Structure 1
Amino acid sequence: MAAYYQLLNREQHSDGSCTASYLSNIHAQGAWNPHEQHMAPATGVLCAELEQFQPRDEMRIGRVSLDIFGLIAFGEFTVHTRVIRAGKTIELIEAEMQANGKTCIVARAWKMMKQDTSAIAGLEDQSIVHPETLPIWDGMKCWPGGYIQSIETRAAEGHRAGKGIVWLHNDLDMVEAQETSSFVRLLGMVDTANGIVPRQNPASGWGFPNLDLQLHLHRLPQGKWLGLEATQQYGDDGIGLTSAVLHDEQGPFGRSEQILTLRKF
């Protein structure tokens, strides 16, 4: 099966940290710049590193916070993963992507102790229409790049600029010759939320790239389809916000936020 990345090397260090070297391919190519990676698969490969770093059966990742430091360079890069704050019930870990000697993305994840809370469980977000009932949507064709070409999209009725529901799916592994978990596969598409309900067409002369991606998960996702119930809002002083309720075929599992810098090109 084709993949977004190839693992070149992995080195465990005496302090418990780990450094992995990767090579991106055309499927990871960005939409704003052909010489950079798209933030969606970049999130996926960072989540893969966070997921497999010192795993503990009694804990799971509840939040991933990613800050984009600059160009996510295409080609070879490294991911250095380490513990920031160790603990028995909560633990903070970090994965830093570097390319050409520069930091591209810093991802931090809170690992949290699991326990049975079924007696008090309750959600306010509602399930959305399932993807198999929806037609294939070609609205992403306004975006260039290899990543966009790698995904299938289906949109619910009522989709418009600024608000809509879109399901996404891809058949690629995140890393060549490695099994891709639902956690990695679905979180590796969430950044697409910023492009599914744009208030401005990318050809309009306005750009709205995100500087971060915040992911909060009240349960772990399952399956291969990601549903994005997204809104995009622009302020009047150059800052915008893309927000989404995250769904799999079982229902809502979390939320995402992206802060945007609005710029006239």
Structure 2
Amino acid sequence: MESFYRRLDEGRYESLPTTAGPWSPHAQHAGPPSALVARTMEAHQPRERMRLADLRLDILGPIPVAPLDVEVRTVRQGRSMELLEATLSASGTPVVLARGWRIVRTPDDFPRLRGYRPEDIAPVPDQQGHGLGLLMPGAHEDGYLSCVEWRALEGGPGTGGTAVVWGRQLLPLVAGEEPTPWQRALVLADSGGGITMTVDPRKHTYVNCNLHVVLDRDPEGEWIRMSSQALASPGHGGTVHTALADVRGDLGTGLQTMLAQDVRS
């Protein structure tokens, strides 16, 4: 396994089998495509002292394990804020639409605002006794699931819809490149619905149609901490909320809108 993608040409990438999600060897987990969109936005007409701060992705359908084309344009350009828009396509058909805000970095002497964030978080645990499997009945295990290492602090699949875990990707996003902090966060952020999976996928559907990630600080290091909770209100809908952190502490949030349905027989 060398990476999730191999660059073929400007804006075109080969999707490797490592991108395949748990449901099929032919459909990607949304984590790697999300990071690929972030990669493209970060490289689009970069400006000094500006950073990607907010990224929302709408997933239009299954993302095939096939060559992907990504295009990005500036919707709104300003001195301190820029709105970018990207389209990820397979065989000419859009599969992901995304918008991201790039903003000027906060001054180093700006007052620190902590809100309700804890002062300290539990560190990455030793591997022994803390492995977390994301296995589900009939899951495809040879793609994404084999390319991310998880270490659990509490909860997890089948334990009540909450989880606190550390995770890291085990291979580059694009062959020959070191992932950026945003890319590392996004490879994992879409797994909120997976690490909290409690409903039996043979009986109930609980899948996301989008991913919205906001980071007020760029992650440091290769480990990302996810504190996630899955919610469903019968007769209405579902969401997954994730607090994202690194070894220094909390740094942002992720939100997924979930399609919560009974499996049709």
SS, match of residue 262 in structure 1: strand
User: Structure 2 CA distance, aligned partners of 1:258 and 1:208?
Assistant: 11
On the 8 A contact 1:207/1:262 being kept in 2, the answer is: yes
1:14 alignment partner in structure 2: none
Residue 136, structure 1, aligned to residue 135, structure 2: no
Q: How does 1:222-233 map to 2 (within 5 A)?
A: 222-233=220-231
Structure 2: tracts of 5 or more residues without a match: none
Q: How does 1:1-265 map to 2 (within 5 A)?
A: 2-10=2-10, 20-116=11-107, 118-123=109-114, 124-126=116-118, 127-133=120-126, 135-142=129-136, 143-145=139-141, 146-159=143-156, 160-202=159-201, 204-237=202-235, 239-265=237-263
Q: Give the deviation of 1:59 after TM superposition.
A: 1.1
The TM-score normalised by the length of structure 2 is 0.91
On the 8 A contact 1:44/1:189 being kept in 2, the answer is: no
Q: Which letter does structure 1 place at the counterpart of 2:121?
A: I
CA RMSD in angstroms, aligned pairs only: 1.7
The TM-score normalised by the length of structure 1 is 0.91
Q: Which letter does structure 1 place at the counterpart of 2:261?
A: R
User: Structure 2 CA distance, aligned partners of 1:229 and 1:67?
Assistant: 22
User: Structure 1 CA distance, aligned partners of 2:161 and 2:151?
Assistant: 17
Task: Check 1:157–1:50 CA distance in 2 against 1; reply closer, same or farther (3 A cut).
Answer: same
Task: Check 1:115–1:138 CA distance in 2 against 1; reply closer, same or farther (3 A cut).
Answer: closer
Paired-residue identity, %: 27
Q: Which letter does structure 2 place at the counterpart of 1:175?
A: V
Q: Give the deviation of 1:179 after TM superposition.
A: 2.2
Q: Which letter does structure 2 place at the counterpart of 1:9?
A: D
User: Structure 1 CA distance, aligned partners of 2:169 and 2:64?
Assistant: 23
1:16 alignment partner in structure 2: none
Runs of at least 4 residues off by over 4 Å: none
User: Structure 2 CA distance, aligned partners of 1:44 and 1:3?
Assistant: 13
Q: Which letter does structure 2 place at the counterpart of 1:144?
A: H
User: Structure 2 CA distance, aligned partners of 1:22 and 1:85?
Assistant: 27
Moved more, 121-130 or 235-244: 121-130
Q: Give the deviation of 1:238 after TM superposition.
A: 5.3
SS, match of residue 157 in structure 1: strand
Task: Check 1:74–1:235 CA distance in 2 against 1; reply closer, same or farther (3 A cut).
Answer: same
Q: Give the deviation of 1:58 after TM superposition.
A: 1.9
On the 8 A contact 2:20/2:144 being kept in 1, the answer is: yes
On the 8 A contact 2:228/2:241 being kept in 1, the answer is: yes
1:141-197 Cα offsets, whole Å, 9 max, x none, are 224341011111111135532112011112200001122112212222110111001
SS, match of residue 106 in structure 1: strand
Q: Give the deviation of 1:109 after TM superposition.
A: 0.7
